[in-house]
Amino acid sequence: MFDCMSDGTPLSNTAHGQHAKRRGMVDSRPIEEQLQDLRGRADDDFLHPDAMREAGRHQLDLPELGLRVSVTRSRYPNRPDGIDQYAVTMSRPVLDRAPTNEEVGMVLSSAFGEIASRAVERSGGSSRIRMFRVPAGDSASDQPASATS
């Protein structure tokens, strides 16, 4: 393994679950907990950026549901006066069909609690990938119930 780039610049340690920003191993925790952790990683990346790398997408595969969920927290548009939001993408790893409304509702409510109801879908009607913008909240009421108890 190389600890620096060819010009001698050190590489940032972004590993989560043995892969940068991605969980590659089977996780035995409840899906809700995994999704809350995914949101937490996006929050940490946004609130405490690493100067050595650009903030980015955090991804989680949920084999139980056959879904892949990606979350990024940023300002949209990406400028100081942009709105603090999450970009959430849901798809199936094989891209055979779009996630159902029930799956989307479960994922959003597990990850975002009450603010999930304010999510706005940004994907086209025939897309097999569903994309949402979810407002970032700062209060405890925005957390899923089990995260605050």
Is position 5 within any domain? Answer: no
Task: Give which of 133, 56, 136, 138 is closest to 90, Cα–Cα.
Answer: 133
> In terms of C-beta density within 10 A (0-12 exposed, 13-18 middle, 19 or more buried), how is residue 140 classed?
exposed
Is position 10 within any domain? Answer: no
Q: What is the mean pLDDT of residues 48-52?
A: 83
Is position 1 within any domain? Answer: no
Flag whether pLDDT at 53 surpasses 60.
Answer: yes
At 129, is the pLDDT very low, low, confident or very high (cuts 50, 70, 90)? very high
Is position 51 within any domain? Answer: yes
Domain that holds residue 131: 20-148
pTM tops 0.95, yes or no: no
What percentage of the chain has pLDDT greater than the value 90? 56
Q: What is the mean pLDDT of residues 80-103?
A: 94
Count of the separate structural domains present in the chain = 1
Which residue is associated with the tokens 């043995």? 18
What percentage of the chain has pLDDT greater than the value 70? 72
Give the pLDDT confidence score for residue 110 in this predicted structure. 97
Whether the CB-CB separation of 69 and 59 falls below 8 Å is answered with yes
Is position 50 within any domain? Answer: yes
Q: What is the mean pLDDT of residues 30-57?
A: 89
Is position 15 within any domain? Answer: no
Is position 3 within any domain? Answer: no
